[in-house]
Structure 1
Amino acid sequence: MTPRATGVRAPYDAVPVAVRAWVDSVLGSPVVTVAEQVGGMSPGCATRVTCADGTRAFVKAVGAELNPDSPTLFRREILALTLIGSHQSWADLMASYDDGAWVALVLEDIEGRHPDLADDTDMDLLLGAVDSLGVLLGERVPDPPRPAPWSGEGPRPAALFRPGLCDLSETFRDWLDAFDQAHELPAGQVPSWVIERQTVLRPGVAALLDQPTDRLVHFDIRDDNLLVRPTGELVFLDWGATGIGPDWLDPLLARLERVHLPWFDASVVRSPALARAGDGTVTSWLVGMGVTLAWRAHTQVVVGLPTLQAFRRAESARFLSAAARRLGI
């Protein structure tokens, strides 16, 4: 299946010669064939490579010239994979490269397919795997390192684009800022009920800042970031958004492919972590995320990601529609 989140990627031969030479050196044999992969929003390459001696690997590389924020996400993925070590639930990091402008990862090449999350079998596989992932990450990294507070000059960047792990408490603060400005959006960017009920909805979005943020979380669980091995195990890919957040966050993300269906509401109740968080928290998360995506789609200038704004608008509409259903609107 083709993932819903699909950007425009640079091919491997567009990666600087120095980076490709480093890949050859790391793998111990020159790359002779490449297979470009689709899915995800990064403008960098995502390439399965095969070397002259038969060695295979998966290479990701991006430069600031393609998008100024993407190298930060790649550096975070390197940090995350270093923290969690080796396991069959994700691709092993074989080597990393960073010359200040370009960042690259050489990863274990995983055979598999993207799951079809409209299929009950694949969805059940994901829900079980994401619960196991939460336990595993807690065991591997019980005290994840917090990023330093932002101290740079100029406007404060979104938490996702600051160095280190993503601090979800800061992300929720970003969401509240966007929510407070939602009335400035042109008509039609968010449903009218959001603006009409802004005062009523605000305490729920603000309460997200009070959620405990002490667990290592993947924070980017979508079909394009998952593979099912031929033997049936699920593999979590793309750790560039990895953060410190609440234990219910990844179980929530795992269910978002069906957020438009009543199935989502019933499934949330069956999840121990989401049941502890409560229905109100889940609905406020959908409101906060939905409004933030609409705000960013309208206000941010995005370099090198031509499909991102349309994706943001589509996801915003899905999340806010689900929130409306849950609120009885």
Structure 2
Amino acid sequence: MDTEATDLPPVAFSGSRLNWQDLPRHVRSRIAALAGAQVSSETSATSGFTPGFAAVLELGDGHEVFVKAVSAEQNPQAPDLARREIVVAGALPPEVPAPRLLWSHDDGTWVILGFDAVHGQSPEQPWRPADLDRVLVALADLAVARPLTPNGLLPVTDTMADDFRGWRRIACAPDGPRTHSAARFGERGVWVMAHLDQLADWESGWAVAAAGTALVHGDLRADNVMLDTDATWLVDWPLASLGAPWLDLAFMLPSVEMQGGGDADALFWAHPVAAGVEPHALRSVLAALAGHFTLASAQPAPIGVPNLRRFQQAQAVVALDWLRRLPA
């Protein structure tokens, strides 16, 4: 992909969702039993990358439930992510605007989760200022939330330790693959090659910068937000961890700028959670994030998620541009 082209931002959707009738009969029967009523209709989710089944189900008793159902056939990692989301759901305090997990089932092949059905839509693209303001307020509230105890959440320094070594891995790669990877980014790739050792050095400090005890969603983007008339819902929590309270803002802003929401650096420093953040800490985390997106976007597409790599590369472009704008 030519990242210098002025094409539209990639769509955050896997394109491989299952419908109700695609589910095996025993899975449909289990869902109906867990929900306590027969399913009369479905409204499929139209955003997000996780393959499998994701839909609001209307039940014969008039109630609704949002159901996810995944197996390794759709994607080898999907069941473990669903299992992780079950653990995270038990750690979310009531003040966090996340749909409540009602029930779950894991037969070793299919993992099924049933949530309160919440309504609304993902923010329009490009971002409208009023929508972005609502999400930024929700991030300020999330930054002061603390998970319930005891819980099974891990420090972000553990959950992202392998992902946040991108520049160091690229620096150790043979010249051919390294040059080919840089070429995907045009002029930005030239800058990366000239500053690779510095990027790896910045990245190496991310764990110290990111450590903390705040609840971190870890994967916030427009497609993981739902805006109702009077509520802002943060959804899809399998990557949640413990870390610095400003991480979700920093992690989300490359996608916000990519989708027309404004300058990521200006938005970061204007937000309340940025108070007291050292510029070198932001640089380290941003370098790690940019390295992760850069390296991940060069990998083959995961099974059932064909659009993910293009989305990651688009975020890498914005993260690199933000990194280059930071004061020396």
Same fold per TM (> 0.5)? yes
Instruction: Name 2:251's counterpart in structure 1.
Output: 253
- Partner of residue 201 from structure 1, selected from 199, 202, 206: 199
Q: Of 111, 116, 140, which residue of structure 2 is paired with 1:103?
A: 111
Higher relative contact order (CA 8 A, sep 6+): 2
Partners in 1 of 2:49 and 2:135 — Cα distance?
22
Moved more, 197-206 or 215-224: 197-206
Give the conservation status (yes or no) of the 8 Å contact 1:96–1:103. yes
Q: 1:144 to 1:213 in 2, by over 3 A?
A: farther
- Offset, 1:300: 4.7
2:284 alignment partner in structure 1? 284
- For the residue of structure 1 that corresponds to 2:61, the secondary structure is coil
Calculate the TM-score normalised by the size of structure 2. Answer: 0.84
Query: 1:72 is matched with which residue: 61, 68, 80?
Result: 80
Instruction: Select 2:148's aligned residue among 132, 136, 141.
Output: 141
Q: How much identity, in percent, do the aligned residues show? A: 26
Name the CA distance, whole Å, in 2 between partners of 1:245 and 1:88: 16
AA matched with 1:198:
L
Corresponding residue for residue 178 of structure 1: 166
Q: Is the 8 A contact 1:248 1:273 kept in 2?
A: yes
1:118 counterpart residue number: 127
Higher mean C-alpha deviation, range 258-267 or range 117-126 = 258-267
Q: Tell me if the contact between 1:60 and 1:105 (Cα under 8 Å) persists in the aligned partners.
A: yes
**Matching residue's letter, 2:293:** L
Query: Residues 45 and 61 of structure 1 are in contact (CA less than 8 Å); yes or no, is this contact kept in structure 2?
Result: yes
> For residue 150 of structure 1, what is the aligned residue in structure 2?
none
Select the residue among 82, 95, 118 that pairs with 2:90: 82
Shift of 1:280: 2.8
Question: Are residues 1:218 and 2:217 paired?
Answer: yes
Runs of 4+ in 1 over 4 A off after TM superposition: 85-88
When residues 171 and 66 of structure 1 are mapped into structure 2, their CA distance, relative to the original with a 3 A threshold, is same
Shift in CA distance, 3/19, structure 1 to aligned 2, threshold 3 Å: farther
Q: Structure 1: any 5+ residue segments left out of the alignment?
A: 146-164
Deviation at 1:14, TM superposition (A): 1.7
1:309 maps to amino acid: R
Q: For 1:116-140, what per-residue CA distance to the aligned partner results, in whole angstroms no more than 9, with x for missing partners?
A: 372111111111111112223x1x4
Q: In structure 2, what is the Cα distance between the partners aligned to 1:272 and 1:282?
A: 15
Change (3 A) 1:209 1:131: same
For 1:305, what is the secondary structure of its paired residue? coil
Instruction: Report the equivalent of 2:3.
Output: none
Residues 91, 107 of structure 1: 8 Å contact kept: yes
Establish whether residue 6 from structure 1 lines up as the match of residue 10 from structure 2: no
Q: Distance in 2 between matches of 1:3 and 1:13?
A: 29
The alpha-carbon deviation at position 142 of structure 1 amounts to 6.1
Distance 1:49 1:291 in 2: 39
2:325 alignment partner AA: R
**TM value normalised by structure 1:** 0.84
Question: Within the alignment, does 1:188 sit opposite 2:183 as a pair?
Answer: yes
- Structure 1, 74-83 or 196-205: larger mean CA deviation: 196-205
Paired with 2:294 and 2:45, the residues of 1 have a C-alpha distance of 28
Q: Cα offset for 1:87?
A: 5.1
Q: Secondary structure at the match of 1:50?
A: strand
Q: 1:208 to 1:143 in 2, by over 3 A?
A: farther
What is aligned with 1:53? 61
Counterpart CA distance in 2 for 1:64 and 1:305 is: 13
3-state DSSP class of the match of 1:313?
Answer: helix
Tell which deviates more after alignment, 244-253 or 35-44: 244-253
Q: Given that residues 144 and 214 in structure 1 are in contact (C-alpha distance below 8 angstroms), is that contact kept between their aligned partners in structure 2?
A: no
SS at match of 1:181: helix
Quote how far apart the aligned CAs of 1:25 are. 1.1
**Residue in 1 aligned with 2:298?**
298
Please report how far the alpha carbon of residue 62 of structure 1 lies from its aligned counterpart in structure 2 after TM superposition: 0.6
Distance 1:88 1:291 in 2: 30
What is the rounded CA distance, in whole Å, between the counterparts of 2:280 and 2:96 in structure 1? Answer: 35
1:287 and 1:82 map into 2 onto residues whose CA distance is: 32
Separation in 2, partners of 1:301, 1:7: 11
1:233-270 Cα offsets, whole Å, 9 max, x none, are: 21111111111222111222343344367632222222
Take 1:130 and 1:5, find their aligned partners in 2: how far apart are those partners? 20
Partners of 2:301 and 2:307 within 8 A in 1: no
Q: Secondary structure of the residue that 2:111 maps to in structure 1?
A: strand
CA distance in 2, matches of 1:293, 1:193: 16
Range that drifts further, 216-225 or 169-178? 169-178
Q: Structure 2: how far apart are the matches of 1:96 and 1:3?
A: 32
Is the partner of 2:205 in helix, strand or coil?
A: helix
Instruction: Extract unaligned runs of 5+ from structure 2.
Output: 1-8
Contact 1:189 1:294 in 2 (8 A): no
